[in-house]
Chain A
Amino acid sequence: MEKINIIIDDKQVAVEPGTTVLHAARLIGIKIPTLCYMKLDDLNFENKPGGCRICVVEIEGRRNLAPACKTECTAGMKVKTNTIRVINSRRTVLELILSNHPAECLICAKSGDCELQSLAHKLGIREIHYQGEKSKFKGDKSPSIIREMEKCVMCRRCETACNEVQTVGVLSAINRGFNSVVAPAFEMDFDKTTCTYCGQCVAVCPTGALTERDLTWRVIEALVNPEKTVVVQTAPAVRAALGEAFGMEPGTLVTGKMTAALRKLGFNYVFDTDFAADLTIMEEGTEILDRLSKFLKGDKDVKLPILTSCCPGWVNFLEHNFPELKDVPSTAKSPQQMFGAIAKSYFADKLGIKREDMIVVSVMPCLAKKYESMRPEFSVNGDPDVNISISTRELAQLIRNANIDFNSLPDEDFDSPLGASTGAAVIFGTTGGVIEAAVRSAYELFTKKQLPKLDFEELRGLEGIRQATIDFDGTPINIGIAHGLGNARKLLDDLKAGKCSFHAIEIMACPGGCIGGGGQPYHHGNVEILRKRQSALYIEDKNKPLRKSHENPFIVQLYDEFLGKPLEHKAHELLHTHYFDKKKKIIIE
């Protein structure tokens, strides 16, 4: 298609048809300020309701100012982005938005990371000329997500994430006019809805309206209690993103610094969820092989494809939306919960302490993990296997609070025995990683042969739904991968309709997998950050001496000393779970 010539601030630019004025301006280095607009390339996320009116520009021949994010270029268009009229309007509109904002920046979880704050700074707002009544809304403290809608600017990004990307459909605008706000229907609390706690709404919220439930104080309380042994586990995706919170380049791996910081914070044992990820592969991989061999032998009752079960957001989604499929996913617990179960049995025994005297803290890229750790089936006599689950952002907060100079910390190693892991565990943090890890072990256990090549490029990438067929020495195994719950829904609908020929499917709730989790440092719409986190994990995998879960010597030892064999009695009791039909749970009060 022929390019279109337009003039922005007296500069000519040629653009593809369909380009918006906002993007055309960026091509020539003019950054028109935005607030509600957000686009995540390749992740099916584009939010441009044209609602905030911050990006308005003057277009010759038009009566009113036009939103640059929504206005497509037409041939010969003349745009001015910085006339007095534009500047005055932009400022006035921002003042209006600020006039209905609590302006509690000093104690706001989002301070320093808030797009409204930086916009106010950029436009140099010193006085709000239009003061008046401020909105009041019902607060909501769910296990994972806190809503403080007084801080909402109605950008609707959360709505786009919840409805279009995740197809969860919990959030939408309610009420009219000044009382408009994004909320669940009837302003119900999240815990009464089908919210999966995936936290993608939090990940895209420009202000402090949607944040994680902050548990840092509970961590501090645990650390200062001399009667407790405090054990920490860190999920794979955390190490690829934590550095961003300290000004490092996205994709910087900070495994060693993170371990050192955790030790400085006073954790008694610094362990790795990766260990539990290897354990997960042992259980889940065995389960895959078990179902697969039965299937290949002609067993009609066997449930295939098998679905991965390590993502708690996805499990919630399944329980709410596809309860009829609740027997399909692997029964293996998530690595977080496997870790908790092993720490509070095997490791507590080793230390000779009661499980109640051990506090397990998990650091997760995820907000759904908070809810998962609180599920009653993951506790023994009221004592949860994982006591406190904090996000990457909360860990960064704790490190800052403790006045630790993160950037200059020396690298340290995890403690033993629950700190050792293979490369297979590391890639759990990205979409495609779990299934690749499972394939590495399942192949060798199934074929009793060494894999010629460990890198399954065909399973990697950021495409929403991917599929590949892996040759298990003559037996073709069909693998499906979906990340983002909207993509998961497509696969599950196919599955329900019997249109699915996969043997195994990996599903991650968040776009990109855990690297894009709701608890990670904010990406502010920059998908490049997710790509860099992803490649960091593949590099860490590549650099590991061991890259197959079943080769992890501590895992082998754990089975020998304690668990017996995968799927068997003790392993089954500690490492497996089941799922619930939560479809009818929604009651309108």
Chain B
Amino acid sequence: MGKFKNHILVCLGTGCRASQSEEIIRNFKTALEENDLENDVQIVGTGCFGFCEKGPVIKMVPDNTFYVLVNPEDANEIVLEHIVKGRKVERLLYVDPETKKHVSDSKHMGFYKKQIRIALRNCGFINPENIDEYIARDGYAALGSVISEMTPQEAINVVKDSELRGRGGGGFPTGLKWELTKKSNSDQKYVVCNADEGDPGAFMDRSILEGDPHSVLEAMAICGYCIGANVGVIYIRAEYPLAIQRLKIAIQQARDYGLLGNEILGSKFNFDIEIRYGAGAFVCGEETALIHSMEGLRGEPTVKPPFPAVSGYKGKPTNVNNVETFANIPPIFLKGSSWFKTIGNEKSKGTKVFALAGKVNNVGLIEVPMGTTLREVIFDIGGGIKDGKKFKAVQTGGPSGGCLTEKHLDTPIDYDNLIASGSMMGSGGMVVLDEDDCMVDVARFYLDFTVEESCGKCAPCRIGNKRMNEMLEKITMGKGEEDDIIRLKNLANVIKDTSLCGLGQTSPNPVLSTMDNFMHEYVAHVHDKKCPAKQCKALMQYSIDPNKCVGCTLCSRVCPVDAISGERKEPHKINAALCIKCGACMEKCKFGAISLS
């Protein structure tokens, strides 16, 4: 068999799969066979490319042509044009929103220019179901050199020296955590990978597990060697079937090669990994709750200390790290901690993966060096705000984080800066909001989530968040009373101050940060009964401009509650008392006479 002249990398991340990327692969195979090219061109299903906005995406190798929004029907054309004739299929190229020009190469896309991929280094590059491709990318070499050439303490020193901090949200120094677990004396210790990603809209960990499962397995084994554990457990939510499937394949392949199991690479080190499924409870991302859940108990946090490093899974010393943290480990050993430290800024080294979402042009998964500003992320990588609207705020850290505004745009993103600005890194959710978003409603949205996800153990979180949510609802419904703002603030502060675990302690952040930065919107809702962003329907009224209305009667005919009246050819009127604000009239009006204000 000759060598492949071309590779076609097709994204098999969850998003692209949902838009038929598997079908695309099948069609490619057929097209290649029809043209006798199956020995010249290799089709590779990979993990997430990150550019989910325009999925399904495929990449042609070696010329790096990047096709977006590919349909299964396009496969044949791509083969005939790109492969056979060497001509790019222009209509499938990405169009730069600013220059309006086609960009053929991902390197020249604003979305990728400022990214540095460490945790995502193999995502969208290798076939995650083929361990050989991982090994070809120096996979398991870090594990090999650690167990053959280093003592556990030496290896921990490398991690400490890299200044890697936990990527799950807390930002605790990873090397120190390992060292603490190493120091706990016990006959049995555990390495746990927290893959219980639960922030709404976040899919960082999921993409890593789907695109590069071996990097996590390798890192867990390294951690096991360092702390003296021979059992690793991946706690993953059952809602991630693809990640689970790929992990299972990866674990089996690693076992077959002897890279997991007994006497790894001829050493005396034994390590194996099992998978545990979570039922998708946000609170189980909290490490003590996660451990209880693994033990078959209710997923509830307990007061720390004792920390898992001392007493964790089954009461044994346990090191819990998040997926992204682990994914950073092999490159640190391969390239050295000093290399790692060149990326990032003063107190936060390396990169961070974010799930960029909301009102930006380029929604997707990105990895940027720590210290990148919000402006760079939103405007350079994200391609700015959709439809030319005005930027209003960016929500980071998911339901535990807060909203940052215009004045924070040049803040370098790192653990400490985000906290100082009233938000937090969290696990990497980043939702961009524009002028049309009502901040009170945004706070309510996150509270909805927290109310749903509270474990119910402590009173402030169980009842307090419910009450905050009810107050926010009341305010957005235009029923807010003058005292509500003060009460809401007091309640938020008490919940933050008295809740048992991180979930409760941070759950008021969306409320507090929107109050800090957008108090005028709260006041407008409560005092003036107005929603400045025109989002809260209860505060809005539809009205007909008598100068524009020609009396065509269309609106009165579509109104489901007969709230519109008027004579034919005469301006119509809306009875606000009857109107249910469905908006059907506005949609139907051909003369732009109906407005919402």
Contacts and interface: CB of A to CB of B under 8 A. Distances in A.
Interface of A: 49-54, 56, 64-65, 67, 70-72, 85, 88-89, 92-93, 96-97, 99-100, 129-133, 153-154, 172-173, 175-180
A154 B459 contact: yes
Contacts of A53: 458-460, 498-500
Interface of B: 281, 298, 300, 302-303, 305, 451-460, 462-467, 470-471, 487, 490-491, 494, 496-500, 505
A545 B202 CA distance: 79
A64 B498 CA distance: 7
Nearest to B487: A129
Closest 5 CB pairs of A and B: A180-B456, A177-B454, A96-B463, A132-B470, A92-B494
Contact of B467 (A52, A72, A130): A130
B455 A176 contact: yes
B515 to A, nearest CB: 17
Contacts of B298: 172-173
Contacts, number: 112
Contacts of B497: 56, 64-65, 85, 89
A96 B490 contact: no
B467 A65 contact: no
Nearest to B282: A176
Contacts of A176: 281, 452-456
A179 to B, nearest CB: 7
A422 B295 CA distance: 52
Binding site of B, secondary structure by majority: helix, strand, loop or mixed? helix
A52 B458 contact: yes
28 contacts: A51-B458, A53-B458, A56-B497, A64-B496, A64-B497, A88-B490, A88-B494, A89-B497, A93-B464, A96-B463, A97-B463, A100-B466, A129-B487, A130-B463, A130-B491, A153-B459, A154-B459, A172-B298, A173-B300, A173-B457, A175-B456, A176-B452, A176-B455, A177-B453, A177-B465, A177-B466, A179-B456, A180-B455
B452 A96 contact: no
A271 to B, nearest CB: 47
Contacts of A89: 494, 497-498
Contacts of B454: 176-178, 180
Binding site of A, secondary structure by majority: helix, strand, loop or mixed? loop
Contacts of B498: 53, 56, 64-65, 89, 93
B497 to A, nearest CB: 5
B495 to A, nearest CB: 9
A99 B467 contact: yes
Residue from A93, A97, A175 whose CB has the most chain B CB atoms within 10 Å: A93
Residue from B454, B459, B462 whose CB has the most chain A CB atoms within 10 Å: B459
A268 B102 CA distance: 102
Contacts of A93: 459-460, 464, 494, 498
Nearest to A101: B463
A341 B419 CA distance: 74
A99 B463 CA distance: 8
Given A96-B464, A176-B281, A49 B455 contact: no
A432 B451 CA distance: 50
A343 to B, nearest CB: 47
B169 to A, nearest CB: 16
A51 B466 contact: no
Contacts of B499: 53, 64
A64 B456 contact: no
Contacts of A132: 466-467, 470
Contacts of B458: 50-53
A46 B456 CA distance: 20
A93 B471 CA distance: 16
Contacts of A177: 451-456, 462, 465-466
A96 B459 contact: yes
B399 to A, nearest CB: 13
Contacts of A175: 456
Given A70-B303, A154-B459, A178-B466, 9 more contacts: A56-B497, A56-B498, A67-B303, A89-B494, A92-B491, A97-B463, A130-B464, A176-B281, A178-B465
A53 B500 CA distance: 8
A153 B463 CA distance: 10
Nearest to B451: A177
